[in-house]
Amino acid sequence: MLHVGTMSPAIALAFLPLVVTLLVRYRHHFRLLVRTVLLRSFRDCLSGLRTEERAFSYVLTHALPGDPGHILTTLDHWSSCCEYLSHMGPVKGQILMRLVEEKAPACVLELGTYCGYSTLFIARALPPGSRLLTVERDPRTAAVAEKLIRLAGFDEQMVELIAGSSEEVIPRLRAQYQLNRADLVLLAHRPRYYLRDLQLLEAHALLPSGATVLADHVLFPGAPRFLQYTKSCGRYRCRLHHTSLPDFPAIKDGIAQLTYAGPG
C-alpha cells in the first residue's frame, strides 16, 4: 500500500547536497532571516514591545539628548550588538548626508521614516531655514520616530512627521501640508511602492526640474520595475551607489540617485 506524504531515505539523501549547497551559498541571508524575523518575533512576544521601542529605550539610557550624531551611533551599537534594527546604517547614512549637504534643498520629503534613523541624517545636514516632511505608515513606529526626532533636538517647524500611507498623503501634500515642491525625496519605505509613489509625485507636480530622488534598497530586496521605469522614461539621470546591508557586508545593496529633468 502506498503511503502518501512519505519520502524514502534514498530520495532524501539525493537532495542533501543541494540543501547543503543552498545553505552555504545563502548563509548570510539565512542569518538575516533569523535576526529580523525569528529572533525579533520571539523577543516581541516576550517583552510586549517592538524592537524599535526597545531600541528607543536603549537610546534614552545611553545617548546624549540634543546630539543627533551620538543618537545615531547609539542606534548603530544597538543594532550590531543587541538586536538587528533593519535601518539604513552608517555607510548609507554618510552618502545621504553628503548628498543633502551638496544639494542644499529647501524642502525634503522622506517616505518611510521607520524609527527616525535616516531622518536624523537628513535633518542634521539641512541648511538653515529648510524643512523636512517625513511620512511613516505604521502609527506605532511613527510614535517611536517622533520621540527620537524630538530627543535629537529637531522641532516641528524643521521636521514634521506625518503618520499615514504615502499613497494617501502625497495627494494632500500641497493643500494640507503646504508642500509645493520637494527638492530632494528619499524613498525608504517598501520598494514595491517606489514606482507608484514616484509617479504620484510626478502626477501632482511636486518634483521641480533638477530635483534629486534617492531610493534605498534598490538591489536588496530590489526594485526592478522602479529602476526600469526611471532608466527608460527619459526624465531621469540615474546613478547607483553600491553598498551592502549593515552588519551583513556579503549582502549587496545600493542607493539609486536620480536627477529629475522635468516632465518633458
- Residues near 236 by Cβ (< 8 Å), separated by ≥ 6? 213, 230, 258, 259, 260, 261
Q: What angle do CA 112, 114, 116 make, to 5 degrees?
A: 105
Amino acid in the structure at residue 114: Y
Q: Is the pLDDT of residue 80 over 90?
A: yes
Location of C-alpha cell 522641532: 155
Contact 258, 215 (CB under 8 A): yes
Average the pLDDT over 13-35 and give the result. 72
Q: Is the pLDDT of residue 24 over 80?
A: no
Contact 222, 191 (CB under 8 A): yes
Long-range contacts of 24-33 (CB under 8 A, 24+ apart): 28/248, 28/250, 28/251, 29/251, 31/248, 32/84, 32/245, 32/248, 32/251
Q: Alpha-carbon distance 8 to 249, whole Å? A: 39
Average the pLDDT over 99-112 and give the result. 98
Q: pLDDT by residue (tens digit) across 180-218?
A: 999 999 999 999 999 999 999 999 999 999 999 999 999
The 8-class DSSP code of residue 240 comes to: E
Q: Is the pLDDT of residue 1 over 60?
A: no
- Show the cell assigned to 157: 517647524
Assign 3-state DSSP to the chain and report helix, strand, coil percentages, each to 5.
55, 20, 30
Q: pLDDT by residue (tens digit) across 138-151?
A: 999 999 999 999 99
